[in-house]
Amino acid sequence: MAKNYMVIGAGKMGRAIAFDLLRNPDTAAVTICDRDQAAVDAAKSRLGDPRVSGSVLDANDVGTTHRLMAGIDCVIGAASYELNLAMTKAAVAARAHYCDLGGNNDVVAKQFMLDAAAKNAGIRVLPDCGIAPGAVSVLGKLALDRVPNAERLQIRVGGLPQHPQGPLKYALVFSARGLVSNYVEPTEILWEGKRELVPSLGGREYQHFPTLGRLEAVYTSGGSSTLTQTYEGKLKYLDYKTLRWEGHWDTVTVLRDLGMLKESAIAADGSVLRPQEFLIQWLDATLPREQPDLLVLRVMATDGARHGVSFDLVDRMDPLTGHSAMQRTTGYSASICAQMLAYGEISATGVLKHEEAVPGQRFVEEWRKRGFALTESAITT
């Protein structure tokens, strides 16, 4: 049966989501919305498909947004996480299934407060539908299912430039504001079966990947989504860390120790300066962009003897589509979830958790159709 979709946000991720939706011949129409007319026009031009239409939209305007959502089978939020709550409210009012790229725990918590309203509307809402948060929760559940008496779930993810340069050895693969938010907000983990908040940028460790060598990982916020809530009292340990090229975290730690991650204002030559806002603007202006990137992922589930299973993925920019690894793994994952919502493969209503709602094996099958070379290996020590 033909389905109609709406993608709110005409940037890189929105275009990747729309591209993947259009690969399904049963997709009848995709509406691209953004507050910037030029971005809408550029997205339509790049997609080059007669099924695509565009509309200028301020997603903060819940009334207008829910009217545009009428008749849409699933809406995908690919704009700033700050808009996700308003888009969820509009989807409930329009009785349209909804998912988004998420990434902010406080916003997601507010979305879950709309669970009863979503149930009453008979719709399915799935926040955090990118790679991390998102796909890693599905893989985490799948890994735990493979390990009897599992005690520990560890998730390691990084979006990296293929050719690192500069003191940060990093290129901007998503918004600088989202990046800094993940570095600043505390990280929720499970420790001895209980939820705890630990400072981000701590817990440094090293992971080796055969094709990449040694990478560094530290705690960062947002990537584990609702996993700590779901598995509190069921697992002893659960944590999420972000992978970077060696040296990145040393530079970020220096910036933190100098106060550049602080939100509080300081006086400077008669004006007010907010260090964190300055850092965001500086990163946005100076970090390399449009470089070949890669996405590296490792999800490990182990028992008390540290025996278990590991899912690994290294994905690279696709020169044929021009989609970066971050676009592919984030955008295509969101598209898979949106289609599962639209076609009822995810059947429960309300505001849902990935690890409970998304069928893991089906999700991995869809990943593999898109060329993601996910590997599974045994952990024996």
CATH of the domain at 147: 3.30.360.10
Write the pLDDT tens digit of every residue in 34-85.
999 999 999 999 999 999 999 999 999 999 999 999 999 999 999 988 999 9
Cα 239 to Cα 135: distance, rounded to the nearest angstrom: 15
Do 83 and 154 reside in the same domain of the chain?
no
Tokens encoding 22: 């259009």
Are the CB atoms for 33 and 59 separated by under 8 Å?
yes
Percent of the chain with pLDDT over 90: 83
Tokens encoding 241: 């860390």
Rg (the chain; Cα; Å): 20
Assign 267 a pLDDT band (cuts: 50, 70, 90): confident
Which of 76-85, 266-275, 330-339 is predicted least confidently?
266-275
Which of 48-57, 257-266, 369-378 is predicted least confidently?
257-266
The reported pLDDT for the residue numbered 109 is: 93
Residue keyed to tokens 């990137």: 293
Write the pLDDT tens digit of every residue in 200-220.
999 999 999 999 999 999 999
Do 240 and 290 reside in the same domain of the chain?
yes
* Residue 186 CB neighbour total at 10 angstroms: 14
Cα 97 to Cα 55: distance, rounded to the nearest angstrom: 19
Assign 105 a pLDDT band (cuts: 50, 70, 90): confident
Assign 264 a pLDDT band (cuts: 50, 70, 90): confident
Cα 330 to Cα 295: distance, rounded to the nearest angstrom: 10
Do 32 and 78 reside in the same domain of the chain?
yes
Which of 149-163, 255-269, 303-317 is predicted least confidently?
255-269
Assign 176 a pLDDT band (cuts: 50, 70, 90): confident
Strand-pairing partners, residue 350, are 124
Tokens encoding 289: 């962009």
Question: Does residue 270 carry a pLDDT above 80?
Answer: no
Which of 169-178, 225-234, 286-295 is predicted least confidently?
169-178
Do 195 and 230 reside in the same domain of the chain?
yes
Do 258 and 305 reside in the same domain of the chain?
yes
Burial class (CB in 10 A: 0-12, 13-18, 19+), 143: buried
80, 157, 210, 217, 342 from 224: Cα distances, Å:
19, 11, 25, 15, 25
Give the count of domains, the chain. 2
Do 208 and 268 reside in the same domain of the chain?
yes
Whole-prediction pTM = 0.93
Do 99 and 164 reside in the same domain of the chain?
no
> What is the average pLDDT score of the chain?
94
The reported pLDDT for the residue numbered 274 is: 87
The reported pLDDT for the residue numbered 316 is: 96
Residue keyed to tokens 């979503």: 118
240, 327, 355 from 155: Cα distances, Å:
5, 20, 14
Do 274 and 285 reside in the same domain of the chain?
yes
Do 260 and 307 reside in the same domain of the chain?
yes
Do 340 and 350 reside in the same domain of the chain?
yes
Crossing angle of helices 84-94 and 105-112, in 10° steps, is: 20
Cα 15 to Cα 41: distance, rounded to the nearest angstrom: 11
ω into 359 cis (within 30 of 0):
no
Are the CB atoms for 153 and 143 separated by under 8 Å?
yes
Nearest one of 42, 261, 23 to 32, comparing CA atoms: 42
The pairing of strands 124-126 and 205-209 is unpaired
Assign 8 a pLDDT band (cuts: 50, 70, 90): very high
3-state secondary structure of 357: helix
Tokens encoding 346: 């995810």
Question: Does residue 96 carry a pLDDT above 90?
Answer: yes
Do 343 and 371 reside in the same domain of the chain?
no
Question: Does residue 269 carry a pLDDT above 80?
Answer: no
The reported pLDDT for the residue numbered 175 is: 77
- Helix, strand, coil shares of the chain, percent, nearest 5, are 35, 30, 35
The reported pLDDT for the residue numbered 148 is: 93
* Residue 374 CB neighbour total at 10 angstroms: 16
Do 235 and 221 reside in the same domain of the chain?
yes
The reported pLDDT for the residue numbered 180 is: 86
Assign 291 a pLDDT band (cuts: 50, 70, 90): confident
The reported pLDDT for the residue numbered 360 is: 95
3-state secondary structure of 309: strand
Which of 133-147, 149-163, 249-263, 299-313 is predicted least confidently?
249-263
CATH of the domain at 361: 3.40.50.720
The pairing of strands 124-126 and 52-56 is unpaired
Cα 269 to Cα 283: distance, rounded to the nearest angstrom: 23
The reported pLDDT for the residue numbered 322 is: 93
Which residue range(s) make up the domain with 254? 135-325+366-379
51, 336, 365 from 333: Cα distances, Å:
21, 5, 12
